[in-house]
Structures are given as structure tokens and as C-alpha cells.
Amino acid sequence: MPETHTDVLIGRQDEIRRLDAVLRGAREGRGGALVLRGEPGIGKSALLRHLDEAATGFLVMRASGAEFEMELPFAALHQLLAPATGRLMALPAPHRKALEIAFGLDTGTPDPFLVGVASLGLLVESVRERPLLCVVDDAQWLDQASAKALAFLARRVSAESIALVFAAREPSRLPELDELPGHSLQGLGEPDARALLAAAIGAPLDERVRDRILAEARGNPLALVELPRTAGLAGMAGGFAQPDSVPGVIEQSFRSRLELLPTAARLLVTVAAADPIGDPGLLWRAAELLGIDAAAAAQSVPLVEFGTRIRFSHPLARSAAYRAAAPEERRRAHEALAAVTDPVADPDRRAWHRAQASAGPDEQVAAELEASAARARERGGVAAAAAFLERSAALTVSPVRRAERVLAAVQAKLSVGDFDTAADLLTTVRTDDPSQAARADLLRGRLSFARRRGDEGPTAYLLRAAARLAATDPAWSRECFLDAIEMGLLLGGLDHVVEAVRKAPPSGEPGSGAAAVLTGLISLVADGHPAAGEILGPVVGDADDEVWARRPSLGFMVATELWNFDALYGIATRAVAAGRESGSFHALPIGLAMQATATVHTGDFGAAMELISEEEAIADATGAAPLVYPRLHLAAMRGRRKDAVELFASVDHRMSLSVQWATAVLSNGLADYPAALKAAKQAVEYGAVGTAGLALPELVEAAMRCGETEVAAAALASLQERTRAGRQAWGLGVEACARALVTEDESAYQEAIGLLDDSALVVYRARAQLLYGEWLRRQGRRRDARSALRSAHESLSDLGVEAFAERAAGELRATGEQARSRTSKASDQLTMQEVHIARLVADAATSKEVAAKLFLSPRTVDAHLRNIFRKLGLTSRRQLRDLPDIR
């Protein structure tokens, strides 16, 4: 065994305590995960064996990553869950189908996070009688699809009797594992190292030999055991040459033993090392094809156990055996394995073995790998598809075909975040085809945006792709130009992008869709809002236009710029529906964030919190950062100073413009007009489409209160350009209110209140009533002021727009009337996730249904419900359904 040849683990008491704590937590229904990290030979596998022995009363499921299976999606997850697949019928049909597709038992495209939820359900079904321990060794070799699913499980078992323990080399190549609780194993201290060495050798040892071994091993347990075998004890005493690293010491020890084997035995070990699944039937058939007497050869092989599964004594023994073989021996091994692998049942492994057996370009093998990539992509294995395509391109003879496969590989590499490999592959693209060259530029743009570095910005690549296509494919060229403009808006550099578009516009008359939007955005920069509104208005007004389906973020920004609330909400709603239909965990969070933002502006904070909670649940499940801008809008509108300021301070600098807008709204609500003025000025001065427009009415209000009438008048003029171009009630009502502030025209206040008399615009109507009431009070018209202020206070208070409601209450008191106290809402006491769960349960959702939507276990949902009941003083779901504040 790697760490000791005795029954005692030496020097690992701290690690044993940690593992025992994980088991104890699972026994008590407090599941958890732990990643043991460290260099090869440091003792991870030995600790996992200890864990197995300590898990009395547990159901134990095991899996092990394999370097040669990293390209096969869900291979490790399938291995882990194999003992539980008999419980598949207990899962809801969509979850069951997701796992069946992932494991190759059905066809389709599984959602990776639905697979995670289904896996959690399968594990929960398995712990009904006893706790569960999941052990994953060699986790650094997990395929990416399995790594995502297992990391998801690890984050979701806190309320279950489930423990997950991983062992991985350090540093890890999987960010999913790096985010989990972990413990790094260090080398043994000298007393423990001496004790282990004495136990391993079991004989008196020359002091000089012992000191040399201890120095070379540096506390690595496996090295302490293997190092004496590398050159023998005499060799160590006589001056053994120090290898480059401890793993090198260990691997050299394994190689030294392999070199002593007969030729047939060495070839058998090479075949075993080349086959990651350890199927003895496959090995024996391959050996027979190579003319090896497997039964005889296996008798003389150390390091390998030939049983119901083929197992190497240590992962480094497998890699040592594979690397020790000559290239021709490795190709022969893979060729034999390909020949005996079932082309119908396992076409992808067969194709991969054939690829490893190829000494040069081979179009037939390249085509098989391309087909494997397509199958992998259908099963959700984008990383596997990328690996198949990369190898397929390397084996392709035709330059045109090779470029096509390289571009497909780059696309897949970008999708899984392997930016360095994608960049290297892009440098190999050589093509005269305009379409392929344009695709290469588009991919360079995506890569530049993802890495946030490069010789040229992302928009430059998009513009170059558009220019390449202008003559041959005008429609695609327009799409590229639009993508460049959207990217420019996101990066805050619109003007120079539009200028480039104006110099090389694609052919085609503007009428609707992409052509009209492109022309309208060019006009917006060149000619201003009135001209652009004529072109963009009709397209923005059609939330179902296909151009917004492809670019909902662009549509959302343009609708905001033209103050068209119906379009704003419609585009967001469609984006959510499309995201749900496609199951895309890239598109759906964007749609949810946009719909939450729009919903905040209607004053329905409960619905907004539900949408934000769902987006955050997806972000947590996928390991992504949640989108912050809907929370900024919610915090600004609610007006809770402490909560808002803490959120604003925590936001990344790239969201600084949104923070400035939110600060301006919050500060106006709190009547801190100097702070509002400063923030609104910054948002307007540096803002892009949408952000600057929203900040203008805040700037008008703050500037007038601070006596900066010229600033207010200039902001009003800019606001009027936008709202009159859009010609929508939202914008016209906000503009009338801002105009009333600047001109002190009472009819403008009344006009604003009338235009904003829509349930979706109730927040803006209440703010207009507040401003009107404040103006009336300052005119000495107390009775009229009370009526307007009372109405404003009641609306703002009922909605939970707390800062503005308190401002209205203060104004009411100044008129001699006491404002009624705000009735506390049930949702005020709950977290955002608790509000979401409460609303779902109030709509009669079961714990299982809530769990599926929020990527939780039913037991976790029940734990949240207990907290909700405690906070609200309830005892049943029925009482929750009767709370109007929740529903």
C-alpha cells in the first residue's frame, strides 16, 4: 500500500479527524463534502481506504477518474451512480430521462444541471435506510460533465445524510473542485517519516542510507516506500542521483520494476494501461489479437491486479507503464483495443483508440472522431466534443476540412473555458474562404472578450468579420455589425463602433428586424434620438421581433433608452420563456435578471425577489457569479439605506455606472440631494444607452433641490429627446414630471400623474404625486398638498418603496397631518430565497417541485419552510397560502 505496509496510518491524525467529522455529520443528517488535495504519493488514496473502513453502517458508492476517460461525458458520474440506477423509476420523468440520456441509455441533449438535480434525487432515494458515502479518487481526471454534476451535488447535500469525499492532485485542473471545502496534505514530519520507513522495510537500515532516503522523499509516503527500490539500498548509500521531483522518484521506481518483465508481460501491461475501463474481457481479447499468452504473462506482472476489474496498485503505476512503452507499442495496444471494442455499443471509445493508434493523417478516423464529437455534444459533453474535434482536425488531410474542424473545436473549447487551447488552435487556421475567415474572427472576438486581453478588442474582431462578409453575405454581415454594437454597449465604447459601421455598412435596405435596428443605432449616434426614434420605435415596439430573440440584452437597453416599458417588459418576458424552453443556463439567467429589473419598476418587489432568487439559484448551481443589476434596482427602489449601501460597496467596478444610478435613486429617496446629484452626474456623463437615460430624471430632481438650475435644464432637454422619440406613456410621464420641477408649471405635474395612471407605472405615479405635493406645500396650499402627499404616501408605503414613503410621511407631517404607519409585510422578515420558496408553496407547489426549481433537495426545502413558519408565526402550508402579502 502507498502509505504504509502496516494496519496503521502514520502521521495522519488530523486528516483522520476531518474525515471522521464528515462521516459524523452525514450520520446526523448534516451532509458535506471534502476534497483531499496533494501531490502524487502523498497518501490520498490511503486515507480513502481508511474512510471506507470507518464508514460502518454506510452505503458506499465509489468512482475514480481516469486520464483516458476525460473525453467521455458523464463517465465518472455513471460509475458512481451505477449501484443506484435501479431506483431511476422513483425519479420524476424529466429527471429520469436526463440521467438516461447522460448515461447513453436514451437519445437527446441533457441539461447538465438537470442531470445534477436528478443525481441528487437518486442519492436521496438511496439514503432512506442508511447514510451514504460517495468516494471519488483521482478526481483531477474527472470528465468535465461529471465534475460539474458532482460539484453541484457537493453543494446541495447539507440537509441530507450524504458525505462526498474527493481525492485530487494539487494543483487541480478543475475549478469546480477548487470551490469545495478542501484539505491539502503535506509531507510527513521527520519522526513519522522515519517510523513509516522502518515499517515499510522491516529490517535494520544503515544510518547514511536512511538519511538519504528521508532527504530524497521529503516526507512523501509513497516515495519513502518506493525510493529504496529504485536503485537498492546499496545504490542509495553510494550516492544515488537525485531525480527531478518526488513523482519522478515514484514513477522511476515503477518503471524500474516494469523493465525487468518479459516482453509479452510488458506489452500486456501497456494494453492494460491504455484501457481506462479495466474490463478484463476486453483486455484478454486484445492480448489474444496481439499474440500474447495473457494467463502466463499476468503471472509475472507486479503493480497490476488482474481480477473482475483490472486495477493498478497506484495511478502513477498506470502512467509509468504507459509512458515507459515505446510509441509503436502504444499504437499497437490502442489498435488492438479498437479492434475488440464493440463499434455499435461503444463507438466513441473505439474511435478514440483508433485515433491514438494513428501515426499520421487518416480521414476515416477523423470522420469517426467528428461523429463522436456530435454524439458527445448531444449528451451534454461539450468538453468531450472539443477533445474529439481537436484530434479529428489533427488527423484531417484536406486543408478546408481541417479548418472547419479546427473552428468547431475552438467553438467547443471556448464553451468550456479552455481559452489557452482555443487561442493556440486559432493560430493554426489557414483559409481563403471568407466565411471561415469571418468565423475565425468572430471566435477571436469571443476569446478576447472572455480573456479581457489581446492585441485587439472584441469589437475589432467582430467588425473585421462583418467587413469580410459585406459583399458575399450581407445578412450575416449585418448580424456581425449588430453583435459589434451590442458588444460596444456592454463595454462602454459605442461611438467608435458605430463610426466603423458607418464606413462599411452592409448592403440591403432597412425595413425591419436586424437591418432597421442597425440603421437606427447608427442614426442614434450620428443624428440623435428624434431621427433614431422614427426607425427604432416600430421595431422596439414589437417585442416578438426575431432580432430581440437573438439579442435580448440589446433590445432591453434600446427599450430603456426610448422609455418604452411595454417593450422592456415584453422583451424580458420572451427571453425568460426562450431560456426555459431551451433549458439554457446561459440565456435563462439573463432573461430572469431582465424580467426582475423590469418588475422592480412596477413596484412588485415580491415577484422581483422571486425572479432574482431563481437567477441566483442557477448561478449557484452552475458556479457562476449572480447578475447583480436586478439587485441594484431592487435595493435602490426599496430604499433601505444600510442594505443598499452594503450592496453597492460590494459590487465589481465594471457595474459602477449601475451603482451610480442606484445611488442617485436611493439618495433622492433619502432626501440626500447632494449625494444624488453627484451620482446622477456620473451616471449621465459616463453612461451608455439605457443607464444614462434612466439617470436623467434623478439628475433633474437632485439638481433642482441643490439649486443647480442650469444642470437641471440641460438634463431635462436630454431627457425630452429620448422620451419624445419613444412617444410612450412611461417616458412622457417622467418627462412631464421633470419639466414641472424645472418650470414649476402645475399643469405639468397633473399631466405627469395622468400619463402615469397605469398599474405597471404605479411607482412613477406615486413619485410624481410626491413631487406635486411637495410643490403644493411650498406654495402654501396645505389642503391640496395633503391630498397629493397622502395618496403618494399610501402608494409608496403599500409597495414597500420605503425611502420615498418616509420622505412623503415627513412632508405630510409638515402639513400638520400624521402619516399612518406602514403595515409590516410578511416578506419583510424573509430572505430573498425564503420569499421565493414561500411564494411557490403558497401556489401549492410541493417540496419536490420547489426543490427541482431551485436545485435543492426536498429536505433542504423543508428546512427553509421551518424557518419561514418560525419567522411568520405559522404552523402549516395552508396558513402560508392565506397570506396576501406572500401571494
pLDDT in tens, 692-732: 889 999 999 999 999 999 999 999 999 999 999 989 999 99
d(CA 65, CA 139): 5
d(CA 631, CA 589): 13
d(CA 553, CA 692): 16
Strand partners, 135: 62, 165
The answer to whether 618 and 579 are in contact (CB under 8 A) is: no
How far apart, in Å, are the Cα atoms of 26 and each of 79, 114, 879?
Answer: 22, 24, 33
Specify the pLDDT at position 110: 66
Specify the pLDDT at position 253: 72
d(CA 178, CA 735): 51
The answer to whether 740 and 748 are in contact (CB under 8 A) is: yes
The region of weakest confidence among 95-104, 181-190, 285-294 is 95-104
Residue 453, pLDDT above cutoff 50: no
The string over 593-622, giving b where at least 16 C-beta atoms fall within 10 Å of a residue's C-beta and e elsewhere, is bbbbbbbbbbbbbbbbbbbbbbbbbbbbbb
Specify the pLDDT at position 700: 96
Cis preceding linkage at 204, omega within 30:
no
How far apart, in Å, are the Cα atoms of 170 and each of 178, 551, 749?
Answer: 10, 41, 66
The answer to whether 727 and 759 are in contact (CB under 8 A) is: no
d(CA 28, CA 163): 11
pLDDT in tens, 332-367: 999 999 999 988 888 888 888 898 899 889 999 999
Identify which of 53, 56, 55, 42 has the alpha carbon closest to the alpha carbon of residue 11: 42
Residue 455, pLDDT above cutoff 80: no
Assigned C-alpha cell, 317: 503505476
pLDDT in tens, 307-338: 877 878 776 777 788 888 889 999 999 999 99
d(CA 572, CA 684): 24
What residue has cell string 398638498? Answer: 785
Strand partners, 182: 35
Residue 280: CB atoms within 10 Å: 16
The answer to whether 297 and 265 are in contact (CB under 8 A) is: yes
Specify the pLDDT at position 456: 53
Backbone torsion region of residue 396, taken as left when φ is above 0, otherwise alpha when ψ lies between -120 and 50, otherwise beta: beta
Cα of 193 vs its chain's centroid, Å: 42
Assigned C-alpha cell, 809: 410621511
Strand partners, 62: 135
Specify the pLDDT at position 313: 74
How far apart, in Å, are the Cα atoms of 106 and each of 92, 205, 259, 441, 829?
Answer: 16, 60, 45, 37, 46
Strands (E), 499-642: none
Specify the pLDDT at position 2: 35
3-state secondary structure 690-710: CHHHHHHHHHHHHHHHCCCHH
What residue has cell string 420523468? Answer: 93
Using CA of residue 172, residue 174, residue 175, residue 181, what is the dihedral sign? negative
User: Which amino acid, residue 308?
Assistant: T
The string over 386-397, giving b where at least 16 C-beta atoms fall within 10 Å of a residue's C-beta and e elsewhere, is bbbbbbbbbbbe
d(CA 374, CA 384): 10
d(CA 465, CA 473): 11
Specify the pLDDT at position 525: 78
Average pLDDT over every residue of 214-242: 61
Cα of 196 vs its chain's centroid, Å: 44
pLDDT in tens, 654-678: 668 889 999 999 999 999 999 999 9
Specify the pLDDT at position 489: 72
Which helix (H) or strand (E) segment holds residue 23: the answer is helix 13-27
The string over 110-130, giving b where at least 16 C-beta atoms fall within 10 Å of a residue's C-beta and e elsewhere, is bbbbbbbbbbbbbbbebbeee
| Mean pLDDT (the chain, rounded) | 84
Choice between 316 and 268, residue whose per-residue pLDDT is larger: 268
d(CA 354, CA 368): 9
Choice between 162 and 199, residue whose per-residue pLDDT is larger: 162
The answer to whether 753 and 769 are in contact (CB under 8 A) is: yes
How far apart, in Å, are the Cα atoms of 325 and each of 40, 227, 272?
Answer: 21, 22, 12
d(CA 620, CA 152): 9
The answer to whether 615 and 586 are in contact (CB under 8 A) is: no
Specify the pLDDT at position 424: 86
d(CA 70, CA 383): 9
Cα of 208 vs its chain's centroid, Å: 54
Strand partners, 35: 166, 182
Average pLDDT over every residue of 223-245: 52
Q: What are phi and psi of 38, to 5 degrees?
A: 165, 170
Assigned C-alpha cell, 789: 402627499
The answer to whether 119 and 88 are in contact (CB under 8 A) is: no
Which helix (H) or strand (E) segment holds residue 390: the answer is helix 382-394
Residue 232, pLDDT above cutoff 60: no
The answer to whether 213 and 236 are in contact (CB under 8 A) is: yes
β-pairing verdict for 310-312 and 304-306:
antiparallel
Cα of 512 vs its chain's centroid, Å: 35
Contacts of 394 (CB under 8 A, 6+ apart): none
pLDDT in tens, 754-772: 999 988 899 999 999 999 9
β-pairing verdict for 59-64 and 132-137:
parallel
The answer to whether 271 and 336 are in contact (CB under 8 A) is: yes
Geometric angle at alpha carbon 652, from 646 and 657, rounded to 5°: 90
Specify the pLDDT at position 8: 53
What residue has cell string 419598476? Answer: 601
Q: Which long-range contacts (CB under 8 A, 24 or more apart) does 266-269 make?
A: 266/324, 266/325, 266/329, 267/292, 267/297, 267/325, 267/329, 267/332, 267/333, 268/292, 268/294, 268/297, 268/298, 268/301, 269/301, 269/303, 269/304, 269/321
Residue 24: CB atoms within 10 Å: 12
Q: How confident is the model at residue 173 (pLDDT cuts 50, 70, 90)?
A: confident
pLDDT in tens, 100-125: 888 877 776 666 667 888 898 889 88
Average pLDDT over every residue of 773-794: 93
Q: What are phi and psi of 396, to 5 degrees?
A: -85, 135
Q: Tell me what percent of the residues of the chain surpass a pLDDT of 70.
A: 88
The answer to whether 849 and 840 are in contact (CB under 8 A) is: yes
pLDDT in tens, 543-592: 888 888 888 888 998 999 899 999 999 999 999 988 877 666 677 888 99
d(CA 515, CA 329): 60
Specify the pLDDT at position 61: 93
d(CA 16, CA 24): 12
How far apart, in Å, are the Cα atoms of 485 and each of 169, 518, 785, 821?
Answer: 44, 8, 47, 49
Question: pTM of the entire structure?
Answer: 0.74
Which helix (H) or strand (E) segment holds residue 38: the answer is strand 32-38
DSSP-derived 3-state class of residue 185? coil
Q: How confident is the model at residue 498 (pLDDT cuts 50, 70, 90)?
A: confident
Residue 74, pLDDT above cutoff 90: no
Identify which of 372, 361, 374 has the alpha carbon closest to the alpha carbon of residue 401: 361
The answer to whether 811 and 773 are in contact (CB under 8 A) is: yes
The answer to whether 622 and 113 are in contact (CB under 8 A) is: yes
